[in-house]
Amino acid sequence: MASSLVFVSRPSLPRTQFLNLLELAVAAHLIPEVSEESIKTSQDRLVTKLHLPDSERSELQDDASSFLDSQVSAGNISYSDVCLAVVPDEISDAKQLLLLMDVDSTLIKQEVIELLAAHAGREAEVASVTEAAMRGELDFAQSLIQRVATLKNLPDSVLQEVGQRIIFSDGAPSLVKRFHEAGHKVAVVSGGFQQILDPLAATLGLDHALANTLGITDGILDGTVHGEIVDRTMKETKLRQWSEEHQIPLAATIAAGDGANDLSMVSASGLGIAFNAKPALRDQADVRLDFGRLDVIADLVLDDLS
């Protein structure tokens, strides 16, 4: 099926630099001639969508990746200057989409387990384990059990304290708002904690939100995780379950994350996005988004820009 090639600039990239990149894409026969009128503005970003009806997705994906790699190597652009995505018509033409996102370092800027561990004086230790898990070097479930054990005997009041310190990723509220206004569904699934996630999900009005549940006994964290751990496999399972629940084809789903724990859901979705991601995910995803605006996802797949 046909696809569109979408260019989105980082915030405040000079228009001349964006135009130069498009001209280079024309010269490389990646896209046909483009006009100034085809460039739209999304806040302080520039967006161009070109529908290529005769394209084959995998070939276009390879050509686009090779083009961007060559331009970065030539010093004409950096990966953090532009997001170049191949968006299949199954996404563009869908009546309803499902967007599923990771939470820590995707929907929000922090890793919650590290914020909690700081209260136990174990932040550096836990951060190193988190990094290794996100790179795919450790089994996620085992690493989570190990990290949660460091929280034993903390009062459950730390959950509220940490919750007040959470910062949404730039553009996260706008992304959810734009998807909902267009009639789509937005969900999150997290290797973090339900007690932290619930208020965030309520603030954004998310359609679904699932994370791990910390064990609490008499107002004290007991250092355990209750119930089935939300790992890489569970994330893919929830993508499939929620898409079926809303009668949304898997080809009309979008998944975004930053680490190895997100790889299965990103690979299974109709459009997988690596958001400022570790190489374990970045090198496998359909889309590489290397600047910190989460609402670029809406720029890529929605037709709501004037």
pLDDT tens, the chain, 306 aa long: 799 999 999 999 999 999 999 999 999 999 998 888 899 999 999 999 999 998 899 999 999 999 999 999 999 999 999 999 999 999 999 999 999 999 999 999 999 999 998 888 888 888 888 888 778 887 888 889 989 999 999 999 999 999 999 999 999 999 999 999 999 999 999 999 999 999 999 999 999 999 999 999 999 999 999 999 999 999 999 999 999 999 999 999 999 999 999 999 999 999 999 999 999 999 999 999 999 899 999 999 999 998
Q: What is the DSSP letter of 10?
A: P
Residue tagged active-site, from 104, 231, 258, 295: 104
CB atoms < 10 A from the CB of 23, how many? Answer: 13
Q: Taking Cα atoms as reference points, which of 165, 50, 74 lies closest to residue 119?
A: 165
β-partners of residue 48 are 7, 39
Residue 218 appears among annotated catalytic residues: no
What distance lies between CA 141 and its chain's CA centroid?
Answer: 21
Give residues with Cβ within 8 angstroms of 202, minimum separation 6: none
CA distance 284 to 303: 26
Q: Taking Cα atoms as reference points, which of 19, 98, 97, 89 lies closest to residue 60?
A: 89
- Cβ atoms of 5 and 30 within 8 Å: the answer is yes
CA distance 127 to 199: 24
β-partners of residue 252 are none
250 dihedral zone (left: phi>0; alpha: psi -120 to 50; beta): alpha
Sign of the C-alpha dihedral computed for residues 181, 230, 282 and 59 taken in this order: negative
Residue 258 appears among annotated catalytic residues: no
How big is the chain by its Cα radius of gyration, in Å? 20
CA distance 283 to 271: 14
Query: The whole model's pTM is what?
Result: 0.95
Residue tagged active-site, from 54, 62, 69, 102: 102
